[in-house]
Amino acid sequence: MEEDKKSASRNTKQKGEILRVIRDAKGPLSVKEIHDISKKSIQNIGIATVYRSVNHLLESGSIHEIQLPGESSRFEISHLDHHHHFHCKVCDRVFDVEICPFPMENLPKGFTLDSHEIILYGVCSECNNSSK
């Protein structure tokens, strides 16, 4: 029983840490990226633990899944303001972009809009700087 309690509190701590990693990120993260970052703060954390925590966080609604075409799933914190994603083709990371370039008005008469998705592709500032 003691062991169970200990491992349960460890799981809670790891889940909290993984949530922090996702919250502090500049954009949605893949499980591999979450694993790479959380390794720095959680000793010996395995990819299976990251998967498990991500699933728990998904079920509880703390995070949600972002699926970009042809990419593995990424995860970001729920309830962010409206934003878009910028996919860097050099480092393969995805960044949040706060601007929305799509005019919400000017729709044809009688149309109402629920949502839209725009994905921006290019090179991030880090990759642009390192190529100079």
Do the beta carbons of residue 50 and residue 31 sit within 8 Å? yes
Nearer to Zn ion, 55 or 92 (CB): 92
**Nearest distance from residue 90's CB to Zn ion, in Å?**
5
Shortest Å distance, C-beta 8 to Zn ion: 39
Decide whether 90 or 107 has the Cβ nearer to Zn ion: 90
Contact present, 49 and 14 (Cβ < 8 Å): yes
Residue pair 49/84 in contact by the 8 Å Cβ criterion: no
- The 10 Å Cβ neighbour count of residue 82 is 8
Contacting residues toward Zn ion, per CB under 5 A = 88, 90-91, 100, 102, 124, 127
- Residue 121: CB minimum distance to Zn ion, A: 11
